[in-house]
Structure 1
Amino acid sequence: MRHFKIITQDDCKYCDRAKALIREMGDTFSEINLSTFTEEARGAFKKRYGTVPQVFLETVRIGGSDDLAAWYAT
């Protein structure tokens, strides 16, 4: 079983899709909700990564929900 870290925000269908896929594959995750960040921190995050969700396995960034689906497919 793998344990992912996923950065999400409220009302994000792509975030919901990534979390559902992780659960479906029998893995677990810790969620960090970007909505709880300060406006400055959200801006810095979006400048670095662009959008949510952002999925990480240990220190490796997998990317968004489409990237996660492709990662599982390989």
Structure 2
Amino acid sequence: MSKVEIYTWSRCPYCIRAKALLDRKGVDYQEYVIDGDSEARAKMSERANGRTSVPQIFIDGYHVGGCDDLHELDYHGELDSMLRKAA
């Protein structure tokens, strides 16, 4: 299974929705809850090519994007193959 990382805020509805999709697929992921942590948000933004919105999702170090991007990959049948690749 691939290594999945997700930067979130605890009460963000998009973060909750993205995690729910990963949970439904049985994916283990590393969550970084960055509420009020400007240093962590800056690190996320650097990794996410300047994007500052949450969630920001990475699979094996590849920047997937946010919640809509994750669901788009799933809709097109690309997410499962990304998740199956060896970490």
* TM-score between both structures, scaled by the size of structure 2: 0.70
Which is richer in strand?
1
| Structure-2 residue corresponding to 1:67 | 69
- Greater helix proportion: 1
Shift of 1:40: 4.7
**What is the aligned-residue identity percentage?**
36
Quickly say closer, same or farther: Cα 1:23–1:2, change in 2 above 3 A. Answer: farther
Q: Which ranges of structure 2 fall in alignment gaps of 5 or more residues?
A: 77-87
Q: Give how far 1:26 is off.
A: 2.1
- List 4+ stretches of structure 1 deviating above 2 A: 39-42, 44-47
1:56 to 55, 58, 82: 58
- The alignment's C-alpha RMSD in Å is 2.0
What is the number of residues matched between the two proteins?
72
